[in-house]
Copies of this chain bind each other. A is one copy, B any other.
Amino acid sequence: MLGSLPSFDRLVAELSKLPGVGGKTAARLAFHLLRAPQADTDALADALREMKQKVAFCSHCFHITETDPCAICNDPSRDGRLCIVQEPQDLLAIERSHAFHGRYHVLHGALSPLDGIGPEELKIAPLLERLRQEQVEEILLATNFTVEGEATALYLARLLKPLGMKITRLAHGIPMGSDLEYIDTATVQQAVDSRRDF
Cβ-defined partner of A47 (8 Å) among B2, B14, B70: B14
**A20 located at the interface, meaning its Cβ lies under 8 Å from any Cβ of chain B in the complex:** yes
**Number of identical monomers bound together in the oligomeric complex:** 2
Contact A48–B41 (Cβ < 8 Å): yes
Q: Answer whether A67 and B4 are a contact pair too, CB < 8 Å, given A20-B25, A47-B11.
A: yes
Neighbouring B residues of A44 by C-beta, 8 Å: 14-15, 17, 48
Closest to A5 in B: B66
Tell me the dominant secondary structure on chain A's binding face: helix
Interface string of A37-63 (1 = CB under 8 A from B): 010111111011111111100000000
Q: Answer whether A47 and B4 are a contact pair too, CB < 8 Å, given A19-B32, A31-B88, A32-B18.
A: no
Interface string of A9-24 (1 = CB under 8 A from B): 0110111011110000
Q: CA of A44 to CA of B1 in the docked complex: distance in angstroms?
A: 17
Q: Answer whether A64 and B8 are a contact pair too, CB < 8 Å, given A34-B51, A71-B3.
A: yes
Cβ-defined partner of A33 (8 Å) among B20, B52, B53: B52
**A30 located at the interface, meaning its Cβ lies under 8 Å from any Cβ of chain B in the complex:** yes
Neighbouring B residues of A8 by C-beta, 8 Å: 51, 55, 64, 66
Cβ-defined partner of A51 (8 Å) among B7, B53, B70, B92: B7
Contact B14–A92 (Cβ < 8 Å): no
- List 16 contacting pairs A-B, 8 Å CB cutoff, sorted by A: A1-B92, A2-B92, A6-B66, A8-B55, A11-B47, A11-B48, A11-B51, A15-B44, A18-B29, A18-B32, A30-B51, A34-B55, A34-B64, A38-B52, A42-B52, A45-B49
The 10 A-B residue pairs with the shortest CB-CB distance in the complex, in nearest-first order: A4-B71, A45-B45, A11-B47, A11-B51, A7-B54, A14-B44, A14-B47, A7-B51, A10-B47, A7-B50
